[in-house]
Amino acid sequence: MTSRSVATNRPQPTMVSENYYDVTKYPDGNPYEDIGAVINGIIADIKMRQPVSDLNDGGKPGAVIYIPPGDYHLVTQVVIDVSYLKIVGSGHGFTSSSIRFNTPASELAQWREVWPGGSRILAGISPEAALGGSAGAAFYVRRSGNPRISSVEFADFCIDGLHFIDDGSGQNDAENTYKNGKTGIYVDSANDSFRITGMGLIYLEHGITVHDADALAIDNNFIAECGSCIELKGMGQASRIANNFVGAGYQGHSIYAENYGGILVSSNNVFPRGASSVSFSGVVRSSVTGNRFHSFYPGMLVFADNCCENLVSSNHFLRDREPWAPMQKYDNGLDDLFGLLHIDGSNNSVIANHISETIDTQHIKPLAVKPVIINVVSGSGNYIANNHIVATTETSQINVAPNSACFSTQVGALLSTTNLKALEVTAVRVQEGSVKNTVLDSGSDEEVEMDRTMNAFRATPALGQDRRS
């Protein structure tokens, strides 16, 4: 018997084509009317064809579900309970809906396109708020038992929540509330090695919510104009949020994590309007490095509930005022004494960041206070060193027409570096009771407030001073 004949008598591996599904070619259901029902049917087929957990050192390779470019309504929630599943499209399709909904109808009539595109899912699930976040999720991932569900991937398609709704406050335009009960991707059980890449998520109350993650990667996505964008909840470790464009609403978080260790937050471009750029609660031994953060409000970076041994380094923080007229009436409710960086915890390092605050004095809250840049509210052993803080105020207001284009208005404000003068700020405040902290070269004698008998301090040298011993 030849080696070739021996091979032909062995069980043959599953053909790649059998584990590749195109939603537009699947025989059951109509993906344009309800892609959720179609994908659920595909997942049922995968489970039927891959029932054995150990067959020839394999048995459950999973599958790829492909979504071609087009508009697909989702009426039925997709429930994922299999590992090694990749759902992939051919374009994240992001375009700003916030600009569209705040553009006069006469101008909108001339637009070349008005909706997101690419491989676009129109999320039609809108639950009652009392049902909780998972009920309104377009994609719901949950599986009990061992091992944890693993290697589920979402790539290169758009999830569009379509519209926000009236929140009952009587103060907001419906399309600017960031409320609709919808979530793009909701992971509800412990998971390992998930990947979310190249996605576009827009006009969802929650973009991505993941519980109990291990080795999660959220990379190269465009997640903006959502109430909250990225939320890591429960507990977890060793995850990465990198190279994303992110921007939440004024009541939500752009990047949020709780009870996690070993998170890498790096090289993200975080847009303004989020209540925070990064908010950690009980997070330890994690890194926030090399990001660009832009905010219209205080509380850009918040460490709460005893965050410890985290590194914040080489980031660019910019806080200025909302320049676009339709959104100027909204904010996150914090005043300027809260701090741009607000730290509750111990042994954190805040090193070599560039922090800019440019705001007219009439917009400081409360009026006439000195805004706080770095506010250590509790904890010990924090190391704050070599941060360059640039605080300025405009000597005259830039006049912006009420209906000026969002892009030109915001870019014009961002590029403006003339007509500025120094703004008095508290560069670092270490609150009473916080001890054994070190503040080096992050503010002058007058700009740093702390008990210098209980904390170490070295001022940034002033012009003409010689600090050599």
Q: What is the pLDDT of residue 409?
A: 59
Q: pLDDT band at residue 296, thresholds of 50, 70 and 90? A: very high
Residue with the larger pLDDT of the pair 171 and 190: 190
β-pairing, 253-258 vs 276-281, is parallel
Q: What is the pLDDT of residue 324?
A: 73
The answer to whether residue 403 scores a pLDDT higher than 90 is no
In angstroms, the CA 20 to CA 36 distance is 17
Q: Which residue has the tokens 């985290």?
A: 310
Q: What is the pLDDT of residue 160?
A: 98
Q: What is the pTM of this model?
A: 0.91
Helix (H, G, I), strand (E, B) or coil at 278: strand
The answer to whether residue 466 scores a pLDDT higher than 70 is no
282 and 322 Cβ atoms separated by less than 8 Å: no
Q: What are the pLDDT digits (tens) for 71-86?
A: 999 999 999 999 999 9
Go through the domains of the chain in sequence order and give each one's CATH number. 18-274 (2.160.20.10), 309-326+335-469 (2.160.20.10)
Q: What is the pLDDT of residue 214?
A: 98
| Mean pLDDT, residues 137-158 | 97
The answer to whether residue 10 scores a pLDDT higher than 70 is no
Query: Which range has the top average pLDDT, 329-333, 335-339, 458-462?
Result: 335-339
Q: What is the pLDDT of residue 168?
A: 83
65 and 21 Cβ atoms separated by less than 8 Å: yes
Mean pLDDT taken over the chain: 91
> Per mean pLDDT, which range of 172-181, 225-234, 258-267 is the poorest?
172-181
Q: pLDDT band at residue 127, thresholds of 50, 70 and 90? A: confident
Q: What is the pLDDT of residue 464?
A: 65
The answer to whether residue 12 scores a pLDDT higher than 50 is no
| Mean pLDDT, residues 31-39 | 98
Q: What is the pLDDT of residue 395?
A: 57
β-strand partners of 73: 122
Q: What are the pLDDT digits (tens) for 354-374?
A: 999 999 999 999 998 999 999
Q: What is the pLDDT of residue 133?
A: 74
In angstroms, the CA 298 to CA 318 distance is 10
| Mean pLDDT, residues 419-426 | 91
| Contact partners, residue 175, CB within 8 Å, separation at least 6 | 97, 98, 101, 102, 163, 164
The answer to whether residue 400 scores a pLDDT higher than 60 is no
Q: What is the pLDDT of residue 132?
A: 60
Q: pLDDT band at residue 419, thresholds of 50, 70 and 90? A: confident
Burial class (CB in 10 A: 0-12, 13-18, 19+), 176: buried
Q: What is the pLDDT of residue 8?
A: 42
| Mean pLDDT, residues 184-212 | 98
